Structure 1
Amino acid sequence: MINVDNILQLQADTVIEWHNELIVKEEKLPWKFIEENHMWNFSLWHEEDIARIKDIDPLRIVEAKRNIDKYNQARNNAIEKIDEWILSYLEVAGTVPGEKMHSETPGMIIDRLSIMSLKRYHMNEETLREDASAEHKLLCGNKVKVLDEQISDLSNCLRLLLISLQAGELKFKVYRQFKMYNDPSLNPELYKREQQLNG
């Protein structure tokens, strides 16, 4: 269905490439959705960094917060697209869903792996800093090893889930996020303000 090693390679490679230039290349499904999810996590990561700087223009912080909301919504949309593609693939293949429900979807696990690949990249960067102490580099190096283990464990969980889904041993549903704060009709702070302005 989906080669998990290829997911890990795509995530690791693009994190490196995108620090030079953010170019989205994948066109084939589901890889387009997997790369989209990873791109939004990449964008989120760097806006989160900016939002925590104390001595910058407050308007840039406001912009970062708004970007975070927008990118997070897009990230969740991409997770749903991955899961929809997998469910469609299984249906076309004639796979009868199992009785046991799996609470975490493949898209959610792929999203977690994306975030972990970003953590690993940036933690490894800390081991290469010329201005950092030897102790700092050692601590970060140990964290890289833990992240490698976590990525290995989680990717194995994804492999097992995909195998179980194809074998008809498990089923899952697409979990809709319904982010209320992004919707002017659902966020009371937004619709009350609109009502006040329109009198």
Structure 2
Amino acid sequence: MIQIRRMDAYDREVRDEVADLFIEGFYNKLHFFTKDPQRLKVAFRDELRADMFYVAELDGQIAGILAVSSSTRRAVVADKGSLRRGLGFLMGTVAYSALKNDFNSPLPYDDETGYIEWVATAEQARGQGVSTALFQHVLQQLPYTTFVLEVLDFNENAHRLYLKLGFEEYDRRPAKGGEKKVFKERIFMRRRSG
């Protein structure tokens, strides 16, 4: 059975477990800064906002995460001090420079829109409905009238899931610069309630 709760609703400390899954899920985006997952974890663990991350447990193990940012607050922030602690002074400074605009900038949505990001499922839990359960929970429980997200064109499984959950494409933007080595387009999707 899959149980969903907000990260800050646990009566035990789960930040390290959530950070491990965050790094596992987004290693391909973050490994430029270091190939060492433990150093990445140190750099990002304290920057995950517990009141914005939802955690799925499968058989008592953390199996998935999903964050919902708002127009005024992002679920993960880039903090120069944390990045330097985890990655060293030079690479932490480089990481902060590279990430601060994406992580710290307000989103261009109104107060009625939730931005779904940082969706990851543990490798051993894939194909067991973890992401679906996380999405259903936030879509039913959070007060937003619209939810938006983006998916990269090569992530066909996620794209199919989002369509199945009622999201519709509303924009596609081509990759820029070095992104072109990884993907061709960012696909923007939205789901309106009611």
Same fold (TM over 0.5): no
Question: What TM-score does the superposition give when structure 1 sets the normalisation length?
Answer: 0.27
- Structure showing greater Rg: 1
Which fold has the larger relative contact order, with Cα–Cα distance below 8 Å and residues 6 or more apart in sequence?
A: 1
From the two aligned structures, give the one with the greater strand fraction.
Answer: 2
